[in-house]
Chains A and B, each alone.
Chain A
Amino acid sequence: MKLRENNHVVGYLFAAPFILGFLVFIVYPVFSSLYYSFTDYNLLESPNWVGLDNYRTMFTDDEKYMKSISVTLNYVFASVPLRLAFALGVAMLLNKAISGIGLYRSAYYLPSLIGGSVAVSILWSQVFGDQGLVNSALGLIGIDSDTSWIGNPATALWTLIALSVWQFGSSMLIFLAGLKNIPKDYYEAASVDGANKVRQFFKITLPLLSPIILFNLIMQTISAFMTFTPAYIISRGEGGPLDQTLLYSLYLYKRAFVFYEMGYASAMAWVALIVIGIVTLLIFQSSRYWVHYESKGDK
């Protein structure tokens, strides 16, 4: 008996760094942010309780807030499917047994390693700048362009989406693992029965991969909602021309650290949390109609 209690103590002792860190850096900030979201906290003075004012302003009296929501939704709905499709496509290519495949895999994964970093965003603003790579490439095929793609309201958001698609590596790796798990004899049987490649893809690959797709979809959707660095760096913290790249997190950041409205920013963060939660839940709910688990035996 005594010994068992001691065992607990040792366990907690080892877990203590995490538990303390969790309390201090997660639990406390989360709850203080909830409190601040009901105040007018401006960092310089102590907060005053304003009830639901921040939430009310957000939805009834803040044009930019609405703009940032529509920008973010556009971004999520365009970038996530594109990114997943791209990742799956490349994963299928890399699933072939050719020599030097390891090298190709590393090369394609590389952009994700340097992923959300500042350096890539700066590189991106060069690539899509008025004297950048894209315009030079267009020049080579005879299209004369000196527009700045990141500064043009019509294309600014698409440069961000392109950047996100380019960083497909981590979802690709997971897809690759999933593809490797599909037994080869399924395909052999199908081809004996006369199914072509396209049919095999839709009847074998996609259903068997659907749990992996679900996982990637959820992870990528959440991270797309929280995208910040590229929008911040590429638009120099401004949110781009006519607010075309004013992603939700960027607007939240501006409210907090440029205008010093911590209360409002906290309220925004809570709304984001709830919305992301709901979207994730919806994806989960929908999954029963399209995700196929072999173990359930519902073939």
Chain B
Amino acid sequence: MSVARFWRKQINRYNLVGTHCKTCDSYYYPPRNVCPKCRRDGEIEPHKFSGPGDIVTYTIIHTAAEGFEHQAPYVLAIVQLDEGPRFTSQIVCNPEDVHIGMKVKPVFRKLGESGDNGMIYYGTKYVPA
């Protein structure tokens, strides 16, 4: 991922800042500028999520994505926050322990790095709660 694309969403990634629609009381993470339910009638404000959630589904990736080779096998999951939204995250745990419904909490971790430039990306991963 390019440096610019990463840095634009740095605050969101570092601090679990998403959005909340005041009109329909829906929460979004990743953040959205338009509420998909209310569209033009939506009223979007920033929202910092409390953090805990549980695993909706998961996989253990053995054939890694480019740049993630040294991490394999790693656990990738869809996490649902207590406020409702779902997003994709790595779970830092023993692959044998992961299961659907597992309670998890956020941690600040290195996500990856950009090729030879050595630019390191940090953000939120999850660990068993």
A and B associate in one complex? no
Residues of A within 8 A of B (CB): none
